[in-house]
Amino acid sequence: MPAAQAEPVYELRTYHTFPGKLDNLLARFRDHTVKLFEKHGMVNVGYWVPLDAKDGAGKTLIYLLEHKSREAAAASWKSFGADPEWVKVRTASEAAGKINEKVESVFVTATDFSPALAASAKGSGRVFEMRTYTTPAGKLPNLDARFRNHTIKLFAGHGMTNVLYTHPMDADKGAGNTLIYFMAYPSRDAAVKAWADFRANPVWVKAKGESEKEGALTTKVESVYMAPTDFSALK
C-alpha cells in the first residue's frame, strides 16, 4: 500500500508596516509576491487586513500559507528569497525606504476537528475573525474536546462559518497550550449577533459549565476582526 500523505502545515504570517506603507505592501503582494509564492511551491490560502485600530488597522497584513511539510516550507522560502525576480521586485518597491517594520511567523497544523478549507466565491464580502485561546497547562485537550463535541456545531447553528482550527507547532509560539482558529460571517453586525445568540444558548451554557467544573479552560482570549484583501483566495 502507498504511504499515507502527510498532513500539510500552515504558516501564519503577520507583517507590520511602517506608517503609510501598507498600500505599497499590498501592491507588491497583489502584483508580484503571491505569484512568486506559487512558483516556489507555496499555496496562498488567505490574506487579510485588520479592521480595528487596536489590531493594527491601516498598517498590518495577516496571511496564511500552506506547505506540504515544514521542510518544504524551508526549501520554498530559500528558493523564493534567491529568486532574481523577487530580488528585483523587493529592491524596486523599497527604493523610497523599507516597507516592513516587523514580521512574525507561526507554523501551525490543523486540528482533527477542523473542516476542510474551501475558498468562497469572489466578492462575497465576508468578514473574518482570528481567535487565539491560551489555556492553563494541560488543558488544551479539554478545550479541543469541547470544540470537537459541542462548540463548532453550535457555531454553525448560529450562522458562523468554521474556516480553520489550528495548533502552533513550536513551544515558543504556544505549542501545547494554544488554539488559533478562523471564522467567517456575512458582516460585522452578523458576527456580533451570532456571538450574542451563541453565548445565550442553553446548550452552550451547559457544555461550558460541565467542561469547567475543575477550572476555566482558557487564561486568555484574543480576537482580531479582518477583511480579506482583493487578492485573497479566501473571501
Per residue in 159-198, pLDDT (tens digit) is: 999 999 999 999 999 999 999 999 999 999 999 999 999 9
Helix axes 70-82, 84-93, angle to 10 degrees: 70
Query: Is position 140 within any domain?
Result: yes
Average pLDDT over residues 225-233: 97
Same domain (yes/no): 134, 75 = no
Region 32-52: mean pLDDT is 98
* 50 and 84 share one domain: yes
Q: Please report, to the nearest 10 degrees, the dihedral formed by the alpha carbons of residues 63, 136, 7, 151 taken in order.
A: -80
Residue-level pLDDT at 118: 76
- Give the largest CA-CA distance in the chain: 58
> Are 102 and 157 in a shared domain?
no
Tell me which residue of 213, 224, 222, 216 sits closest to 174, measured CA to CA: 222
Confidence class for position 6, pLDDT limits 50, 70, 90: confident
CA distances to 58, 120, 171, 193, 194 from 124, in Å: 22, 7, 37, 19, 18
Kindly report, residue by residue over 107-156, the tens digit of the pLDDT.
999 999 999 987 665 556 899 999 999 999 999 999 999 999 999 999 99
Q: What is the CATH number of the domain that holds 25?
A: 3.30.70.100
Pair (202, 144) in one structural domain: yes
Q: Residues 131, 106: one domain?
A: no
pLDDT for position 5: 59
Whether 155 and 212 share a structural domain: yes
pTM recorded for the entire structure: 0.95
Give the domain range for residue 211.
127-228
Of 110, 143, 163, which residue sits at a domain end?
110
Is 117 inside a domain boundary?
A: no
Residue 122 in domain? no
pLDDT confidence tier of residue 1, bands split at 50, 70 and 90:
very low
Task: Look at residue 190 and tell me if it is in a domain.
Answer: yes
- Tell which of 85, 110, 135 closes a domain: 110
Q: Does residue 40 sit in the same domain as residue 83?
A: yes
The answer on 136 and 103 residing in a single domain is no
Based on the fold, state whether residues 219 and 144 are members of the same structural domain: yes
pLDDT digits (tens, 9 = 90+) for 87-113: 999 999 999 999 999 999 999 999 999
* Of 76, 110, 144, the domain-final residue: 110
